[in-house]
Amino acid sequence: MSIKVNVSDQEDSSGGDYVVLPAGRYNCVITEVEPKDSKSDDNYGKPMLYFYFTVQDGKFADRVIGCNACCWDGALYTIIGILKAIGEYENCKGANGLDIPDSPEFYLGRPITVRRGINQKKKKANPNDDPDSWIEVRGFAAVDGAVAGSTGGSGRSEVSLLP
C-alpha cells in the first residue's frame, strides 16, 4: 500500500544535497553570539559564548559555522583567537588579565576568517567514524583585505550581512 500525492517543483528539488563544510579557510562575518553556561561536569555553570559565523563567498556562501568559546582560566584559546582575529585582543587585555566582552553586539558584523580542520584527537579516538565528523573549527585569522576590528564607529563592519 502507498500514499499518492502531488509533488511541487520546490518539494521535488529539496533534500539530498547537503554537503558538510570541508576543511579549509572561510571568510565569514560574525552574525550571532549567544551567551551560555557550560554543562560539563568539570566546568558546570562557567561562562561560554557560542559564535555563529556566516560564510561570505565561494561555494559555501551563506552557510553557518558555529563554535563554543569557553571564558574561564585554562580554556581561553578560542576566545583569544577570535579577539585577535577581530583586532580587539590588546584592547581587552589589561594589567589584571583579560576582560572578555560578553555583549553580543560587541562581536556582531565583524569579519573573520574561520579555519576548519581535522581534530586529530577525535580521529584517533574514533577511527571508524565518518571522516566528516573529525572536521571542526581549528583557528581564526583576520580576513584578507579587511582591517580586523574596523567598524567605522558604528560597532559593525562595513562587510556585515546585518542591517
Tell me the pLDDT band of 157, cut-offs 50, 70 and 90.
very low
Tell me the per-residue pLDDT of 55-104, one tens digit each, with 9 for 90 and over: 999 999 999 999 999 999 999 999 999 999 999 999 999 999 999 999 99
For residue 109, pLDDT over 50 is answered with yes
- Could you tell me which residue, 71 or 162, shows the higher pLDDT? 71
- 98 or 159, greater pLDDT: 98
Q: Does the pLDDT value for residue 156 go beyond 50? A: no
Beta strands 97-98 and 111-118, pairing class:
unpaired
More confident residue, 153 or 37: 37
The DSSP output letter for 158 is T
pLDDT in tens, 1-55: 788 888 887 777 666 667 789 999 999 999 999 999 999 999 999 999 999 999 9
CATH dotted code for 19-141: 2.40.50
Calculate ∠ Cα 84-105-135, nearest 5°: 50
3-class SS of residue 106: helix
- DSSP 8-state class, residue 146: S
The reply to whether the predicted model has a pTM over 0.95 is no
Domain boundaries, the chain: 19-141
Q: Which long-range contacts (CB under 8 A, 24 or more apart) does 147-152 make?
A: 147/87, 148/85, 148/86, 148/87, 148/110, 148/111, 148/112, 149/86, 149/87, 149/88, 149/91, 149/110, 150/87, 151/109, 151/110
Residue 7 pLDDT: 84
